[in-house]
């Protein structure tokens, strides 16, 4: 017989249950990128709660309702949204996707002024209600916006970083895989530097399986990665976003999936190597600029930036990229 007393003949007092801490993802901006990122994160079961913040209350309410109606077919989660910053309270990760929409033919730099103004207006309030969150800037031009956000927020360079060239590196791997006829999962290559026109592929450290890309001779007499092929692939990586924007007005699916990968790396403390954009300090002689380099990402944000092997041309390209980003940041007073 089970003794239901506390040992002194009196009924035992039940121990109050402590709610289990669950993960909360905040997304600033319910536009094409933000809403698709919420969808991707829900489909992947990345967070238990997804919170959307947008100045357009009707839009954010509609997105929350639409996403919530599909919860039956996903991992269990809750979707909330508001035009009030309090919806971001106690977030573990905040993805900042709000900003001016890039138009066909418009460079990312042209977007900087309006986006930095928005960051200045919105970010401090979010940091106030979610001071311990890891912040990931997604809005373009992401390197300049990330640098400005660090100055505006006062957050540590590990706690706030940009999505950088995670998507660009995915594009690079896809194109290499398509040319060589191997699975994209077996291609390991990074785009580094600016997320923009001066970005560059790090061919020196790229591999297909265990074979260095620079030594890849193809299979069955086809698929060799000659200098001409590599240059063509690099150009297509840079130009692909402009092609997508010209055709459909926005890039949203791939950046949402790239963003959800970053989210999972943080929430699950994966220590995954991702080419995110963060503040460099003495990286190959570069400092005081946000650029993408392969970095270890975990629950605290950017844990370490890896100095991967680079040729002299690649190092020179990185420095040109740093100069380009730095010049834009200076133009806006940073």
β pairing state of 200-201 and 207-208: unpaired
Decide: residue 305, CB within 10 A, 0-12 exposed, 13-18 middle, 19+ buried: buried
Q: How many residues does the chain have?
A: 334
Work out whether strand 134-137 and strand 160-162 pair parallel, antiparallel, or are unpaired: parallel
- 8 A C-beta contact, residue 207 and residue 213: yes
Tokens at residue 161, please? 């970083």
141 preceded by cis ω (within 30°)? yes
CA distance 31 to 38: 10
Q: Which residue has the tokens 């919420």?
A: 38
Distance CA 330, CA 167 (A): 26
Distance CA 31, CA 41 (A): 15
CB 240 within 8 A of CB 91: no
Q: What beta strand segments (E) does the chain contain?
A: 24-28, 49-53, 78-82, 93-96, 134-137, 160-162, 187-188, 191-192, 200-201, 207-208, 211-212, 272-274, 277-283, 286-292, 295-298, 301-305
26, 91 Cβ separation under 8 angstroms: yes
Give the three-class secondary structure for 288.
strand
CA–CA dist 253, 232 (Å, integer): 24
286: which strand partners? 283
User: Would you call 195 a catalytic residue per the annotation?
Assistant: yes
The position carrying tokens 């990185």 is 318
Q: Known catalytic residues?
A: 195
């Amino acid at each position: 017989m089970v003794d239901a007393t506390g040992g002194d003949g009196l009924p035992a007092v039940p121990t109050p249950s402590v709610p289990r801490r669950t993960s909360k993802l905040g997304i600033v901006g319910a536009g094409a990128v933000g809403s698709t990122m919420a969808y991707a994160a829900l489909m992947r079961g990345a967070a238990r709660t997804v919170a959307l913040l947008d100045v357009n209350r009707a839009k954010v309410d509609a997105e929350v309702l639409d996403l919530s109606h599909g919860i039956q077919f996903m991992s269990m989660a809750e979707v909330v949204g508001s035009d009030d910053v309090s919806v971001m309270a106690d977030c573990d990760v905040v993805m900042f996707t709000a900003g001016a929409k890039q138009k066909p033919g418009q460079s990312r730099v042209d977007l900087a002024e309006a986006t930095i103004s928005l960051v200045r207006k919105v970010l401090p309030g979010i940091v106030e209600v979610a001071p311990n969150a890891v912040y990931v800037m997604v809005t373009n031009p992401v390197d300049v916006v990330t640098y400005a956000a660090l100055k505006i927020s006062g957050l540590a360079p590990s706690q706030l970083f940009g999505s950088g060239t995670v998507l660009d590196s995915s594009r690079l791997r896809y194109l290499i895989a398509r040319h060589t006829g191997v699975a994209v999962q077996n291609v390991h290559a990074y785009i580094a530097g600016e997320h923009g026109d001066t970005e560059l592929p790090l061919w020196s450290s790229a591999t297909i399986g265990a074979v260095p890309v620079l030594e890849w001779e193809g299979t069955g007499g086809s698929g060799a990665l000659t200098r001409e092929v590599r240059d063509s692939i690099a150009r297509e990586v840079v130009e692909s976003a402009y092609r997508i924007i010209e055709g459909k007005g926005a890039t949203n699916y791939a950046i949402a999936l790239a963003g959800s990968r970053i989210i999972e790396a943080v929430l699950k403390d994966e220590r995954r190597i991702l080419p995110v954009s963060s503040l460099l300090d003495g990286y190959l002689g570069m400092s005081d600029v946000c650029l993408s380099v392969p970095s270890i990402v975990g629950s605290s944000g950017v844990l370490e930036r890896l100095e991967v092997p680079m040729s002299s041309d690649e190092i020179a390209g990185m420095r040109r990229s740093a100069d380009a980003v730095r010049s834009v940041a200076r133009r806006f007073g940073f």
